[in-house]
């Protein structure tokens, strides 16, 4: 009786390891051939005076027709410059980099300028936080400051691509729009790609045509490190730039050709993908994972870190800001479970307004 094997045997371990080594070597060569642009310390826009920056950012093409928009932008720019001017250093970029603001992820960065403004003029009015966000957007779009990629990826960027298309590179973004229409790409996919590209302009400066292959690889690596989800959306921006002819002819067809040169993340990096505010809890999670590490493969370790740091503690802090104990009040524990089992999605209505829709969903495993 002849038995036919349904599956091929695995390659010998030594051969598999050799293949992995070859892939790493190839990825390393590609990364050396296509390095990212180095971060600049000084450039003309970041060295301008307060008066010059205000004049430029409150005039066309930055100035919008709507009266309320114009007023909000003026207030935002003035408040941001007022705060940054209080910090030592010569350029706006140096002040921004040394302010400590990038230690605060997401929308928390406004706490530092708010603290300064409240000391200057008493309790700030309710719209100051929104003004600061508007002012920051203009300073970034105007290339006055260039935040770091890791910090930018902790934030949502609803208007970044729009304002970059208005004031930084209208032709480049219009080319993206036309290409998406010609290739029947979905509007959502096109917006995600445009936002990724706008983030590169924000952090690296220049126009779309100045983006390098290495810039894209750096963004891809950073997305992995800070846990930006999105599947194919993570790399779609690279494909679009390549189709536009931004890259040289010998650029790889896909960014995945560069592999993951960062290798496996450390325990600290696994936890720090999430914006945990309470340092003792963060350290406790690191210690726990390190204790479990000898008996787990990396995939299991990664999954546990996602559950504990992402699904559990990051959500707990969002529901109860300032919490610093694992002894959760019963009400908070119930609220967390309900939040975990609720599926949320954002839709755009006929009037263009976005609305968040919540619906019951399956509760993911957290242990």
Summarised one tens digit per residue, pLDDT across range 36-68 is 999 888 999 999 999 999 999 988 888 876 777
Cβ atoms 311, 305 nearer than 8 A: no
Cβ contacts of 113-119, under 8 Å, gap ≥ 24: 113/79, 113/80, 113/83, 116/82, 116/83, 116/86, 117/79, 117/82, 117/83
Rounded mean pLDDT of 106-113?
Answer: 88
- pLDDT at 248 > cutoff 70: yes
Rounded mean pLDDT of 308-333?
Answer: 91
- Could you give the CA distance from residue 65 to residue 77 in angstroms, rounded to a whole number? 17
Q: Model confidence at 125, in pLDDT bands (50, 70, 90)?
A: low
Q: What is the pLDDT of residue 275?
A: 82
Q: Kindly report the number of other CB atoms within 10 A of residue 313's CB atom.
A: 23
- pLDDT at 199 > cutoff 70: yes
Q: Model confidence at 21, in pLDDT bands (50, 70, 90)?
A: low
- pLDDT at 184 > cutoff 90: no
- Could you give the CA distance from residue 179 to residue 177 in angstroms, rounded to a whole number? 5
Rounded mean pLDDT of 238-243?
Answer: 93
Q: Which helix (H) or strand (E) holds 250?
A: none
Q: Model confidence at 294, in pLDDT bands (50, 70, 90)?
A: confident
Q: Model confidence at 1, in pLDDT bands (50, 70, 90)?
A: very low
Q: Model confidence at 264, in pLDDT bands (50, 70, 90)?
A: low
- Alpha helices (H) along 148-232: 149-152, 160-167, 170-182, 187-204, 213-225
Weakest mean pLDDT among 81-95, 219-233, 281-295, 341-355: 341-355
Rounded mean pLDDT of 16-33?
Answer: 70
- pLDDT at 268 > cutoff 50: yes
> In this prediction, what percent of the chain has a pLDDT beyond 90?
44
Residue 24's Cβ-count burial label (10 Å; 0-12, 13-18, 19+) is middle
- pLDDT at 178 > cutoff 70: yes
User: Which of 180, 174, 239 shows the shortest CA–CA distance to 213?
Assistant: 239
Coil/strand/helix, residue 190: helix
Q: What is the pLDDT of residue 364?
A: 47
User: Which of 190, 183, 130, 204 shows the shortest CA–CA distance to 161?
Assistant: 190
Cα-Cα-Cα-Cα dihedral sign, residues 187, 192, 197, 203: positive
pLDDT averaged over every residue in the chain: 82
- pLDDT at 350 > cutoff 50: no
Q: What is the pLDDT of residue 367?
A: 43
Q: What is the pLDDT of residue 349?
A: 43
- pLDDT at 172 > cutoff 90: yes
Rounded mean pLDDT of 259-285?
Answer: 80
Q: What is the pLDDT of residue 265?
A: 74
Q: Model confidence at 10, in pLDDT bands (50, 70, 90)?
A: very low
Cβ atoms 69, 131 nearer than 8 A: no
Q: Model confidence at 301, in pLDDT bands (50, 70, 90)?
A: confident
Q: What is the pLDDT of residue 245?
A: 93
Q: What is the pLDDT of residue 155?
A: 84
Cβ atoms 214, 241 nearer than 8 A: no
- Give backbone dihedrals phi and psi of 29, rounded to 5 degrees, phi first: -65, -45
């Amino acid at each position: 009786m002849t038995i036919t094997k349904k599956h091929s045997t695995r390659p010998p371990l030594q051969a598999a390891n050799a293949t992995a080594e070859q892939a790493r070597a190839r990825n390393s060569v590609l990364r050396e051939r296509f390095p990212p642009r180095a971060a600049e310390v000084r450039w003309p826009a970041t060295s301008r005076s307060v008066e010059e920056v205000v004049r430029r950012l409150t005039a066309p093409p930055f100035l919008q027709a709507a009266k309320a928009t114009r007023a909000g932008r003026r207030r935002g720019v003035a408040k941001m410059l007022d705060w940054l001017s209080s910090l030592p250093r010569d350029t706006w970029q140096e002040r921004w980099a040394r302010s400590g603001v990038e230690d605060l992820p997401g929308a928390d960065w406004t706490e530092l300028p708010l603290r300064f403004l409240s000391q200057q003029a008493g309790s700030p009015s309710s719209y100051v936080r929104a003004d600061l966000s508007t002012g920051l957007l203009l300073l970034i779009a105007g290339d006055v400051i260039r935040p770091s990629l890791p910090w930018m990826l902790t934030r949502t960027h609803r208007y970044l691509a729009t304002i970059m298309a208005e004031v930084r590179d209208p032709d480049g973004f219009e080319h993206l729009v036309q290409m998406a229409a010609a290739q029947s790409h979905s509007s959502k996919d096109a917006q995600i790609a445009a936002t990724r590209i706008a983030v590169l302009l924000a952090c690296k400066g220049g126009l779309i045509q100045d983006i390098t292959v290495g810039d894209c690889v750096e963004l891809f690596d950073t997305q992995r490190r800070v846990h930006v989800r999105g599947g194919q959306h993570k790399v779609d921006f690279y494909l679009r730039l390549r189709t536009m002819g931004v890259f040289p002819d010998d650029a790889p067809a896909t960014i995945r050709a560069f592999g993951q040169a960062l290798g496996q993340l450390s325990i600290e990096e696994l936890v720090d993908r999430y914006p945990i505010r309470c340092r003792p809890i963060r350290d406790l999670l690191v210690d726990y994972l390190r204790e479990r590490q000898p008996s787990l493969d990396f995939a299991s370790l990664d999954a546990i870190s996602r559950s504990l740091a992402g699904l559990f503690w990051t959500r707990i802090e969002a529901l109860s800001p300032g919490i610093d104990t694992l002894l959760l009040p019963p009400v908070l524990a119930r609220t967390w479970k309900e939040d975990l089992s609720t599926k949320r999605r954002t839709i755009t209505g006929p009037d263009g307004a976005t609305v968040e829709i919540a619906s019951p969903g399956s509760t993911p495993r957290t242990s």
